[in-house]
A and B are shown apart, each in its own frame.
Chain A
Amino acid sequence: MPSRILIVDDSSLSRRVVRGILESEGHEVTEAADGMAALERFSLEKPDLVVLDMVMGGMDGFDVLQKLRQIDGQAKIIVATADIQRSTREMTEEGGSRGFVTKPIKKEELLSLVNSVLEERPA
């Protein structure tokens, strides 16, 4: 079932890649190029899912994750990052993310995670 998904990434290439993958499955996609824009869009649009980059200029992904969860404690957020450290994965999980994919993005891996998170029932 198509969902509304917000992509947060300071790289336009990454946003285009993720958008292409998600739109190929019929999802409705919006984008934010930095943390402030992400918080604004999230508050206004209440997307079903957020795909969040971690290494961004200005407000980094950890700050955005924390603030999104403050806005909505049930927000479904998955992380897409080039930072492959185990500690990053653990910290994002502790911060409330529902999953983690590493860049370069692989289509099947992202879709599999997106679908499983979208299917989760609210806690």
Chain B
Amino acid sequence: MNAIQTDALTELINIAFGLTAAKLSEISGSRVRVDAPIVGIYPLDALATELTTFVTGPVTSIHQVFSGPISGDAILFLNFEGAVKLSNLFVEEQLRSQHLDSSKGEILTEIGNMLLGACLGVFGNLLQVRVSFSIPMLHLESLKHFLTSLSIGGDELQHAVVIATSFHIREQGVDGRLVIVLGVSSLDRLIQAVERWEASQLRVS
């Protein structure tokens, strides 16, 4: 991926994450601050290290596999404390606690489903590719263990494209990361789609 392609992909993700943040703001009733997205290609064996730079401490993740011309994994990471606070917003006051039980797990899974769906939906719409999603899965295990569940990592894969952004809901103490991991087998198709989108954007002007 050259610098122009990386720039176009970053801008596309910026738009998709912007809409996702608006969705999260609507859900939480609070302002969401979004950091500039990061796009990088990493050897698979360095992926855990790379993701660890985004995710520190106990983590809750909601993971959705997507497939189609471009396929991979979309993951919403939340700090554990933030995940509890976010889920508490949706339960009655007497049921609020500092723990994640099954009903709060369901709430978080649904929030993840909405956010990941919004992000991938925009991603697919802008690139004009049809993306299908798996059922979202909530993970509470360690990051290392979680990474073994990624759908990429097939035989031919040696590298992964990581697209990530951080977001923060200051009033609720929620810190999160939205991460999309693609196998390089999707990379050529992604680059072609991004180049078509870039050309369509430049035609606008």
A contact set with B: CB distance below 8 Å: 10-14, 16-21, 24, 55-57, 81-88, 102-107
Contact = CB atoms under 8 A, between A and B. Distances in A.
Contact of A17 (B17, B35, B205): B205
B117 to A, nearest CB: 17
Interface in B14-52: 14-15, 17-19, 21-22, 25, 31-32, 34-36
Nearest to A20: B205
Interface stretch (B5-13, B67-75, B147-155, B181-189): B5-13
Contacts of B22: 83-85
A12 B4 contact: yes
B34 A83 contact: yes
B36 A17 contact: no
A17 B202 contact: yes
Interface of B: 4, 7-8, 10-11, 14-15, 17-19, 21-22, 25, 31-32, 34-36, 126, 198, 201-202, 204-205
B14 A11 contact: yes
A110 to B, nearest CB: 9
Given A57-B36, A107-B205, 12 more contacts: A11-B10, A11-B11, A17-B201, A17-B202, A20-B204, A55-B18, A82-B15, A83-B34, A85-B21, A87-B25, A103-B11, A107-B204
Contacts of A85: 21-22, 25, 31-32
Contacts, number: 73
A107 B205 CA distance: 6
B17 A13 contact: no
